[in-house]
Amino acid sequence: MKHAVVIGAGPAGLMAAEVMAQAGMRVTICEGKPSVGRKFLMAGKSGLNLTKDEPFVPFMESFAEARSPLTPMIESFNAEAVQDWARGLQQEVFTGSTGRVFPKAMKASPLLRAWMGRLGDLGVNVNTRWLWQGWNGTALAFETPVGEQTLTPDVTVLAMGGASWSRLGATGKWADVLAQKGVALAPFAGSNAGIQVPWSDHMTKHLGTPLKGVAWQAGPYHSRGEATLSAQGLEGGGIYSVSRGVREVHDLFLDLLPDMTVPEVTTKLQAPRGKASLSNHLRKTLRLTPAQIALVQEMARPLPDRLRATARLLKALPIKNAGLRPMDEAISTAGGVAFAAMDAGLMLRDLPGVFAAGEMLDWEAPTGGYLISACLATGRWAGQHAVEWAASAE
């Protein structure tokens, strides 16, 4: 029986392990942390967004320049297949109004428990606190609670995540090991990250307030979704989707009234103001919240005198910022193993029998189901091709 080792117990690694075990291989998962799926569980705290139910072409457009290499992988395990897979683990799913797909239980823990149960039934062995150190000759070397241990499998799948949320295991330290082996890597960069804004004291009482019903733009990246005024700046799905634009040094703009045109906003502002302050006028005529009005005043003092200029400002408020929050705070990272360093089956060209999957690969996607969906698809793809490679090596 062929032996496969999977390093990393996130969704990509677990999916690779499942595929290889179902094909009759003896599978060992080695995870550096004390338990499996830590980032997966954290992602599920606010609702586990497994995938997005939308046509395939716009789904793939979310992967930008990685769309081409990822297409066959995601096509073979698309949004519908992800939902069927979850149902196969007795986890019913539902689709929200925006197309995002969640388990009815919302959290990740019930799905992860069912998944680990299935892997156990398939005979998959899980070693936790086994921290990969690279290779000792041809063997995989691990630092473990009982000292250094080595394994010499027939195939290896690397699925150790990117370089954010290091406390959950995704440290990115594996990049140094692969670089020493000559594997081509793209530098890490924060993705789906918060934006740093040095607020004045004027904003203190509004921190923690969500900005709802708004739209964002940074260069070619657009998003309609809420963000929260945090002590450090801006956080939330709406801002994460355009954080790449900020990383690429595009200006960030906020549209406070995305359902209205500049002329429509101007007409509203032409209502008699009387002795009302401008803040009260904005609140009454446009229904802006106190936090939104405070943000306008924070970013654009003094406000323009002309109504049309004010309307244009409300439709494209420049957000002065200090760039992204630190990479370790980002939901995910860009960079990692370059697709050119792998063959079509995700095997490293310089390391025969070694495959890579998940966030280790050089791709990024917005939140909203794309991240987890691609991790599952690449893990499945790597597992399938590892099975084929092991069989051909007999």
- Please list, in sequence order, all residues whose beta carbon lies within 8 angstroms of the beta carbon of residue 359, skipping any fewer than 6 positions away: 10, 12, 161, 162, 170, 332, 333, 336, 371, 375
Arithmetic mean of pLDDT, 208-227: 96
Arithmetic mean of pLDDT, 179-194: 97
- The residue extents of the domains of the chain are 3-190+332-392, 195-318
Question: Which DSSP string do the residues of 2-55 spell out, in sequence order?
Answer: -EEEEE--SHHHHHHHHHHHHTT-EEEEEESSSSS-HHHHHHGGG----EE-S-
pLDDT for res 120: 98
Q: Strand 131-136's sheet: what is its strand order?
A: 131-136, 139-144, 147-151
Contact of 359 with 164, CB cutoff 8 Å: no
* Residues present in the chain in total: 394
> For the chain, what percent of residues have pLDDT higher than 90?
93
Q: How far apart are the first and last CA of the chain?
A: 11
Arithmetic mean of pLDDT, 281-290: 95
pTM of the model: 0.95
Q: Is the dihedral of CA 287, 291, 295, 297 positive or negative?
A: positive
pLDDT for res 123: 98
Per-residue pLDDT reduced to its tens digit, 71-128: 999 999 999 999 999 999 999 999 999 999 999 999 999 999 999 999 999 999 999 9
Per-residue pLDDT reduced to its tens digit, 249-282: 999 999 999 999 999 999 999 999 888 888 899 9
The CATH code of domain 3-190+332-392 reads: 3.50.50.60
Lowest mean pLDDT among 156-165, 178-187, 205-214, 305-314: 305-314
Rounded Cα–Cα distance for residues 15 and 40 (Å): 13
- Amino acid, single-letter form, for residue 185: L
| Closest by CA position to 182, among listed 66, 343, 337, 7 | 337
H-helix or E-strand spanning residue 92: none
Rounded Cα–Cα distance for residues 71 and 64 (Å): 11
Arithmetic mean of pLDDT, 311-327: 97
Per-residue pLDDT reduced to its tens digit, 19-60: 999 999 999 999 999 999 999 999 888 899 999 999 999 999
Contact of 7 with 13, CB cutoff 8 Å: yes
What's the chain's Rg over C-alpha atoms?
24
Residue 95: phi and psi, rounded to 5, are -110, 125
Angle of helix 262-269 versus helix 278-286 axis, rounded to 10: 120
- Please list, in sequence order, all residues whose beta carbon lies within 8 angstroms of the beta carbon of residue 173, skipping any fewer than 6 positions away: none
Q: How confident is the model at residue 349 (pLDDT cuts 50, 70, 90)?
A: very high
- Please list, in sequence order, all residues whose beta carbon lies within 8 angstroms of the beta carbon of residue 42, skipping any fewer than 6 positions away: 165, 168
Per-residue pLDDT reduced to its tens digit, 103-117: 999 999 999 999 999
Looking at the DSSP assignment, which residues form a beta bridge with residue 185? 337
pLDDT for res 38: 96
Arithmetic mean of pLDDT, 231-256: 97
CB atoms closer than 10 angstroms to residue 221: 19
Rounded Cα–Cα distance for residues 245 and 253 (Å): 11
Q: How confident is the model at residue 188 (pLDDT cuts 50, 70, 90)?
A: very high
Structure tokens at 338: 């370059």
